[in-house]
Amino acid sequence: DAGVIQSPRHEVTEMGQEVTLRCKPISGHDYLFWYRQTMMRGLELLIYFNNNVPIDDSGMPEDRFSAKMPNASFSTLKIQPSEPRDSAVYFCASSLKSSNTQYFGPGTRLTVL
C-alpha cells in the first residue's frame, strides 16, 4: 500500500516566486496535516483538514500561505510570494480518526534564495 506521497521532493526558488507543494494522503484516511520543520523551531503544524474541510489553520504563519483540499486524495500548500525565511522541510501527514496515528510523507525541502 502506498504511503503519503509528496511532490516535489526538492524545490529551489527565488524570493517573490509562487511555490506550490502537493500531497496525496493514504487512501481512506480522513485527516490530512501540513507541517513545517526547521532547526530553530522544530516540527510545527500549519493546518489540518478533516474530510477535505480545514479544521484548524492557526499555525499558518501569514496570508502568504494558503492550503486547499479539493478532494479526498489531493491537497496543496501554496506560498505566494515566497521569502527566504520560508526555507524549511514541509511535511504532509494523514491519519484515520479512529487511530490518532499520523503517517508522514517524505517531505519537500524548500529553499528560497
Partner 1 sequence: EDKVVQSPLSLVVHEGDTVTLNCSYEVTNFRSLLWYKQEKKAPTFLFMLTSSGIEKKSGRLSSILDKKELSSILNITATQTGDSAIYLCAPPQGGSEKLVFGKGTKLTVNP
Counting contacts by CB under 8 A, is residue 71 touching partner 1?
Answer: no
Counting contacts by CB under 8 A, is residue 94 touching partner 1?
Answer: no
Q: What are phi and psi of 3, to 5 degrees?
A: -85, -160
Q: From the list 104, 110, 111, 113, which residue makes contact with partner 1 (rule: CB under 8 A)?
A: 104
Cα–Cα dist 7/70, whole Å: 17
Counting contacts by CB under 8 A, is residue 34 touching partner 1?
Answer: no
Q: Which of residues 38-67 bind partner 1 (CB under 8 A)?
A: 42-43, 45, 48, 50, 55-56
Q: Of 50, 48, 68, 70, whose CA–CA distance to 59 is shortest?
A: 48
| Binding region for partner 1 (CB under 8 A) out of 21-29, 60-68, 77-85, 100-108 | 100-108
CB 34 within 8 A of CB 67: yes
| Binding region for partner 1 (CB under 8 A) out of 11-19, 66-74, 79-87, 101-109 | 101-109
CB of 51 to partner 1, least distance (A): 12
Q: Name the burial class of residue 49, with classes exposed (0-12), middle (13-18) and buried (19+) by CB atoms within 10 angstroms of its CB.
A: buried
Cα–Cα dist 48/31, whole Å: 7
Q: What are the residues binding partner 1 (CB under 8 A)? A: 31, 33, 42-43, 45, 48, 50, 55-56, 91, 95, 97, 99-107
